[in-house]
Amino acid sequence: MTKLQTILEQKQIHWGWLFTGGVLAILGGMVAIGSPFLMGVGIGFLVGWMMVAAGFYYLLYTIETRHERHLFRKALMTILYFAAGLFMVTNPVQGLVSLTLLMGVIFLVEGLTSISMLFSPKIQSRRAWLAFSSLVEIGLGLYVLFGLPSASRWLIGTLWGVHMVILGFSLLAVAMNLNRRHSHTDPIAQPLAA
């Protein structure tokens, strides 16, 4: 039994809710994969509002700690979060391009830093997989960076859609396992023996 299943059983969460959540996640993921640009713009818009909220937090934090050190840094962070958030909210398509650029940089840096791990003696048995993973990440990063701005039309929404489909199938698997375990232990769920 996995840790998640133990927690769910302790909380007495019914498997049907997980099953329904899994189906909805899969359907939502398929919609996101089918219209990645709209999903990407929506994600960019949401990230923009989260950055505006972070700007408000930094503003309150800066006011509260104005007599302490690093006032300039806190004020600068407040301005940066507000500016970036407002930019993404008012220009969602350009914000999507910015997010895509960030994803390309993350893929590239992740791949390059993973290559440095190839020289560690601790991963001798997994070296081939790590090399393959590193090359895929570097390739994705370069593909995205050299594919801008057209890559922004599909990358964020597609990645989110794939994530939702995988999450949905994971929830379905946990729900089916919980249902199977409960049907074997619940005397009401078992048919009467003749």
- Dump pLDDT digits (tens) for 9-38: 655 667 788 899 999 999 999 999 999 999
Please give the residue range of the domain that contains residue 91. 15-181
Q: Which amino acid is at 163?
A: H
What is the per-residue pLDDT across 102-155, written as a single tens digit (0 to 9) for each?
889 988 998 898 888 788 777 777 788 888 888 999 999 999 899 888 888 898
* Number of domains forming the structure of the chain: 1
In our burial notation (b when 16+ CB lie closer than 10 A, e otherwise), range 110-126 reads ebeebeeeeeeeeeeee
C-beta separation of 111 from 141 below 8 A: yes
Mean pLDDT within 168-193: 70
Q: What is the dihedral of CA 56, 59, 64, 65, to 10 degrees?
A: 130
Q: Does residue 129 lie in a domain region?
A: yes
Q: Does residue 152 lie in a domain region?
A: yes
Tally the residues of the chain. 194
What percent of the chain has pLDDT above 70? 86
What percent of the chain has pLDDT above 90? 36
Return the ∠ at Cα 33 (arms to 43 and 36), rounded to 5°: 45
Q: Does residue 190 lie in a domain region?
A: no
Local structure of 37: helix, strand or coil: helix
The pLDDT of residue 12 is 61
Q: Does residue 187 lie in a domain region?
A: no
Q: Does residue 88 lie in a domain region?
A: yes
Q: Does residue 4 lie in a domain region?
A: no
Q: How far is C-alpha 25 from the geometric centre of its chain's CA atoms?
A: 13
Phi-psi category of residue 12: left, alpha or beta, with phi > 0 → left and psi -120 to 50 → alpha: left
Q: Does residue 10 lie in a domain region?
A: no
Return the ∠ at Cα 181 (arms to 177 and 182), rounded to 5°: 115
Backbone phi and psi for residue 101, each to the nearest 5 degrees, phi listed first: -60, -45
Q: Does residue 1 lie in a domain region?
A: no
Report the distance separating Cα 39 and Cα 153, nearest Å. Answer: 10
pTM over 0.85: no
Could you tell me the pLDDT band of residue 193, with boundaries at 50, 70 and 90? very low
CB contact set of 18 (below 8 Å; sequence gap of 6+): 8, 171, 172, 174, 175, 178
The pLDDT of residue 53 is 95
